[in-house]
Amino acid sequence: MLTENALTVLKKRYLLKNEKGEIIETPEQMFRRVAKNIASADEKYGGDVKKAEEDFYKIMSNLDFLPNSPTLMNAGTSIQQLSACFVLPIEDSMEGIFESIKNTALIHQSGGGTGFSFSRIRPKGDIVHSTGGVASGPISFMKVFNASTDVIKQGGRRRGANMGILRVDHPDIMEFITAKADQKELTNFNISVAVSEEFMQAVKNKEKYSLINPRNNEAMKELDAEMVFNKIVEMAWKNGEPGIIFLDRINKDNPTPHVGKIESTNPCGEQPLLPYESCNLGSINLSHMVKDGKIDFDKLRDVVWKSVHFLDNVVDVNKYPLDKIREMTLGNRKIGLGVMGFADMLIQMGIPYDSEEALDMARKVMSFVQEEGRKASVELGKQRGSFPNFKGSIWDGKYEAMRNATVTTIAPTGSISIIAGCSSGIEPLFAITFIRNILDKNDRLVEVNPYFEKIAKERGFYTDELMKKIAENNGSVKGLEEVPEDVQKIFSTALDITPEWHIRMQAAFQEYTDNATSKTVNFREEATVDDVRKVYMLAYELGCKGVTVYRYGSREDQVLTTKAEKKATGSKKPKPRPVVVRGVTRKVSTGCGNLYVTMNEDEDGLFEVFARLGKAGGCADAQLEAIGRLISLCLRSGVEAEAIVKQLKAIRCPSPLLARGGPILSCPDAVAKALEEHIKGKKPPETSKLDNFAALKEKKSETAGMGDVQALVGPVRVCPECGSPMVYEEGCSVCKNCGFSTCG
């Protein structure tokens, strides 16, 4: 049965709409549309198309299995692009770079995400023979890709997402490591350093290693490996990036080394791919695989076989954005079957997430999924033929046939887990209770995890007061005397669980996963740099293929605050106003009309601010007067103007405006930008009255839409679609209310 949240997500992104934006299908019709389209591939192989359609419809409509979002959105439509993951090569030439940008635009427009290695690009300052000039380096071109992503609409339903990777031995590695120190830079990228076995051994042995110029493969200089590793760790502690991928380990498991080397992964890191390769993903809902407190392996086997069949069919009916992608994908026929609802499964079995028993269960479940998935792929290989690059692959000689070069992946399940009504991927619960915004009623309700609610009521300790108390306790039941100790253990949340247990769980699943695992290692705000370093080393030692960490509160887009803001100590009295002050007035066009912002200074700098709309009077002017008074009070009390700008910037209202200098999201946002320009001494940008959000929303071109505008804004503090808080898990900021994700 679909939850209210699931219906919200489906209506916003998945159900088909007519030209007026009206929904024209039900969830059941969506599942039927997808099942019928994917089953049609059976006709090519002489299979029973009708039976396949019923099998696929049943596992989706029962929420036992769901494919990745592009398949649900696009199957059976004119778009018909069904893959979530792509990797594109970037050559060391202007032609090659901009060819990749064009191809990226085509992929993003169709709903896919892209991964790149920038390691082939010559370093900054290197010679360019064709022009006699010097190279600008890979990070400069990453910014071009980032800007391109800003203006590409993904069918109106998914934002563009990128993974940027640089080898640790690239001469520009230090610039890359700090590329996202300013969180307003590369906002459409996740970034990861590709580290080698040689580098990791140099770190452990406190040795130096060589930086290699990719233009001529010559060593340029040496760096201290431990210093570089510590810088990666320091930046990850500050804001979660860069992550690390263990590239040699990934290529050791490359199923088709005779076809090429793996250079990059998809945006969330769980799918290593060859250049021009794509992959189709799907996840089994483990919360539905429990019967009487035990795993129902018969049901799980049935769903695995049908899911492999489904995903293999996707390869055939997919519409590929580039001929090269079609050729590579059909050559290897990679699929990625994963799981979601793992935390829910453990709860039903009474197993704490941070326990040896849970690790054993992870291995037991995933080894079964992998084993049965491979059996299903072998059987399909016998019936339909092995993937074309089978001969010479790692499976050649192990199996008489194999339909898919890879079978299993643990992918992020942000939106589809909301549809399925289960926990995300292999993550623990984020919170036992959380606040849900009811937009049409302007109300906020405490929402409780259904498993916890059931147990609490059965055991007689459920009260509304307790649920509110849990919400105030970081959404956690730890330390609450009203909750029995055994229940506290079973319902550990992401921040209750130590980072070491997070990485051990990732490693347990990785043991039985062909590709890689998407998992966020959560740290409390007070975690140290050394804590992060230990986890990065532990990930390496336990056999993970990569690692992503997130320290609570370390990003500007962190909004799900689970404790009260720390009270400022001491107090300041505002400076008295002198008789004479000097100042300027800036005119800023907004969706509410022309705004006039007056900024006055004394001998110490900015002193007071007044803001008025051209059309005087009304509630809007009263609010602006209040904003001006409070800003002035802050300035006169010694608060830095930059801190005020940060608070007001990106506040949204129903009437935003797209100006030539960037989007004006509201009157407070306009005041912030006027202040910022004044501080920096910029001239006010010209504003186009035609380029407003409403015009973009109505425009039916291929490259404009509300998605474009959202991408321009940068990191979000709250969900840009429904206004609810966003949480960080599986490498992405995700809205648990409507399913919006910064990773697409």
Is 3.20.70.20 the CATH number for 1-430+494-559+717-744? yes
What was the pLDDT predicted at 438? 46
pLDDT value of residue 447: 76
DSSP 49-72: HHHHHHHHHHHHHTTSEEE-HHHH
Lowest mean pLDDT among 240-244, 323-327, 586-590: 586-590
Q: How far apart are CA 73 and CA 61, in angstroms?
A: 15
End-to-end CA distance of the chain: 25
Give the whole-angstrom CA distance, residue 482 versus residue 455.
13
- Asked whether the beta carbons of 731 and 520 are under 8 A apart, the reply is yes
With H, G, I as helix, E, B as strand and everything else as coil, classify residue 26: coil
Average the pLDDT over 454-476 and give the result.
92
In angstroms, what is the C-alpha Rg of the chain? 27
Quote the CA–CA distance of 590 and 615 in Å, as a whole number.
12
Average pLDDT over residues 460-488: 92
**Which pLDDT score, from 0 to 100, does residue 721 have?**
64
CA dihedral of 661, 663, 666, 671, whole degrees rounded to 10: -20
In sequence order, the 6+-apart residues with CB closer than 8 A to the CB of 493 are 428, 429, 430, 431, 432, 474, 475, 476, 478
CA-CA-CA-CA torsion sign (650, 656, 658, 664) = negative
Average pLDDT value over all residues in the chain: 87
More confident residue, 662 or 513: 513
- For 454, the enclosing helix (H) or strand (E) is helix 450-458
Would you state the pLDDT for residue 290? 98
CB distance 411 to 338 below 8 Å = yes
**Single-letter code of the amino acid located at 289:** M
Residues 263, 270, 608, 677: which is the catalytic one?
270
Amino acid at the residue 408: T
Return d(Cα 263, Cα 116) in angstroms, integer.
8
**Residue 357, φ and ψ in degrees, nearest 5:** -65, -40
The lowest-confidence range among 218-232, 490-504, 530-544, 677-691 is 677-691
Measured distance CA(519)–CA(412) in Å, rounded: 8
Pairing of strands 243-246, 189-195: parallel
Single out the catalytic residue among 146, 239, 268, 372: 268
Contact 373, 304 (CB under 8 A): yes
Q: What is the pLDDT of residues 621-661, one digit of tens each?
A: 788 888 988 998 888 888 888 889 888 988 877 667 766 66
- The residue ranking higher by pLDDT, 637 or 442, is 637
The H or E element that residue 272 is part of is strand 272-273
CA distances from 52 to 39, 42, 499, 551, 700 (A): 5, 8, 43, 45, 36
Query: Residue 676 corresponds to which amino acid?
Result: E
Distance in angstroms (rounded) separating the CA atoms of residues 704 and 711 = 11
The arithmetic mean of pLDDT across residues 270-283, rounded, is: 96
**Span 368-403, pLDDT tens digits:** 999 999 999 999 999 999 999 999 999 999 999 999
Angle, helices 297-317 vs 27-39, to 10°: value is: 70
Question: How far apart (Å, rounded) are the C-alpha atoms in residues 453 and 463?
Answer: 10
pLDDT of residue 620: 75
Task: Give residue-wise pLDDT tens across range 28-75.
Answer: 999 999 999 999 999 999 999 999 999 999 999 999 999 999 999 999
Q: What percent of the chain has pLDDT over 90?
A: 65
Say whether 625 is catalytic: no
Catalytic residue, from 37, 190, 266, 285: name it. Answer: 266
Distance of alpha carbon 167 from alpha carbon 191, whole angstroms: 11
The 8-class DSSP code of residue 30 comes to H
* Residue 596 buriedness (CB in 10 A; 0-12 / 13-18 / 19+): middle
Confidence band (pLDDT; 50, 70, 90) for 184? Answer: confident
Asked whether the predicted pLDDT for residue 738 surpasses 70, the reply is: yes
Whether 24 and 10 have beta carbons less than 8 Å apart is answered as no
* Whether pLDDT at 559 is above 50: no
Q: State the burial class of residue 701 (Cβ atoms within 10 Å of its Cβ: 0-12, 13-18, 19+).
A: exposed
What are the extents of the domains in the chain? 1-430+494-559+717-744, 433-490, 585-694
Q: Which residue has the higher pLDDT, 492 or 653?
A: 492
Mean pLDDT for 661-680 is 86
Strands (E), 130-207: 133-134, 162-167, 189-195
Express as a percent the part of the chain with pLDDT over 70: 87
Q: How far is CA 200 from the centre of its chain?
A: 27
Residue 370 phi, psi dihedral angles, 5° rounding: -65, -45
SS (H, E, C) 191-241: EEEEECHHHHHHHHCCCEEEEEECCCCEEEEEEEHHHHHHHHHHHHHHHCC
What is the amino acid identity at position 667?
C
Q: What is the mean pLDDT of residues 585-608?
A: 85
Annotation says 270 is catalytic? yes
pLDDT given for residue 374 in this prediction = 98
685, pLDDT greater than 80 = no
Q: 498: helix, coil or strand?
A: coil
Whether the bond between 272 and the residue before it is cis, its omega within 30 degrees of 0, is: no
| Predicted TM-score of the model (pTM) | 0.79
- For the ranges 31-35, 527-531, 669-673, 700-704, which has the lowest average pLDDT? 700-704
**Exposed, middle or buried: residue 286 (CB in 10 Å: 0-12, 13-18, 19+)?**
buried
pLDDT at 435: 65
Of the pLDDT bands very low, low, confident and very high (cuts 50, 70, 90), residue 269 is: very high
Q: Is the pLDDT of residue 704 over 50?
A: no
Report the pLDDT value the prediction gives residue 575, as an integer from 0 to 100.
Answer: 77
Report the pLDDT value the prediction gives residue 724, as an integer from 0 to 100.
66
State how far the alpha carbon of 541 is from the alpha carbons of 200, 411, 535, in Å.
Answer: 10, 22, 10
Three-state DSSP class for 178? coil
Residue 405 has pLDDT above 80, yes or no: yes
- State the amino acid at position 124 in one-letter form: K
The crossing angle, in degrees rounded to 10, of helices 138-150 and 94-109 is 30
* pLDDT, mean of residues 533-559: 86
Per DSSP, the residues of 675-739 read HHHHHHTPPPPP--SS-BHHHHHH--STT-SHHHHHHHH-S-SB-TTT--BEEEETTEEEETTT-
Helix or strand (DSSP H, E) at 588: strand 582-590
